[in-house]
Amino acid sequence: MSKLVIVGTVAFDAIETPFGKTDKILGGAATYIGLSAANFNVDQAAVSVVGGDFPQEYLDLLKDRNVNIEGIEIVKDGKTFFWSGKYHNDMNSRDTLATELNVLEHFNPVVPQNYRDAEIVMLGNLHPLVQLGVLDQMTKKPKLAILDTMNFWMDIALDDLHKVIKRVDVITINDEEARQLTGEYSLVVAARKIHEMGPKYVVIKKGEHGALLFHNDHMFYAPALPLEEVFDPTGAGDTFAGGFAGYLASTGDISFENMKNAVIYGSTLASFCVEKFGTERMVSLKEDEVNIRLQAFKNLTQFDIDLK
């Protein structure tokens, strides 16, 4: 079992979809990643910051899921990062209604001492300089550094983003972001260009259309499991990343062949995340449910054919 360090937001979200709306609920990249990775036997720690308004019950929830919270700084006189969004009817596009950085604006991550030798580091979506700050604190080069980022950082901090991309082994971004980062429409060409920036592995997420994994001239595709209803896509990408990183940490095998399994696990866990608002579904998730859905994934993608 490998140690896993997660850096990202622990936050409040307020979400509106065609199925309803919520008041402030638990959210944040590190939250979804940690809850997803908790489905594996992993020694994991979250590195983040919250304000004095953040409920103890949410911190206890993470602890109960075996997420070490020593690295979550509490700024007692500060307010927790808050995001509010409204999804369109297609559930793929959304409008951001509010973004309040609050304590995140001056966040300097501190990795707990006994996790600075972690084999796997999952850099959740934050400013590239914060992500670099975490890598700089590691006492040895991680076996695998995984980066998640978004188009916002490409718009305002591209030079810093290139610095962190150069230092990671895996990048996970969506198709729109891959095209923006490289200027290439073809995702195969885009993945090749991203390889040249540093990462050995490129994961391009395509939402309801699955995910692609690239490594040199090798390519793997995992579909998304067709679902009857999608209530809330918030956190699905982070849940995917948590499943991907958690599986690799639990197996200790970072080969391309095993990364295929990690992509499947990530996709499977993300398919649960979207079934309820916020983190609700991930909190109630049971191991047998995951196994049943993994079998459904296997049935969806495997076939026998005679090749002449």
Give the catalytic positions in this structure: 238
Structure-token pair, residue 134: 């975490």
Which segments of 101-176 are extended strands (E)?
A: 120-123, 144-148, 170-174
Cβ-contact 139, 116 below 8 angstroms: yes
Residue that is written with structure tokens 């499977």 in the block: 268
Cβ-contact 154, 180 below 8 angstroms: yes
Cα-trace Rg, the chain: 18
Which segments of the chain are extended strands (E)?
A: 3-7, 11-17, 20-21, 25-27, 43-51, 67-75, 82-87, 94-100, 120-123, 144-148, 170-174, 201-205, 211-215, 218-222
Over the range 268-295, which residues count as b (16 or more CB within 10 Å of their CB) and which as e? bbbbbbbbebbbbbbeebeeeebeebbe
CA–CA separation, 98 vs 293, rounded Å? 35
- Long-range Cβ pairs for the range 301-306 (8 Å, 24+): 301/222, 301/223
CA–CA separation, 151 vs 267, rounded Å? 22
Strands 120-123 and 3-7 come out as parallel
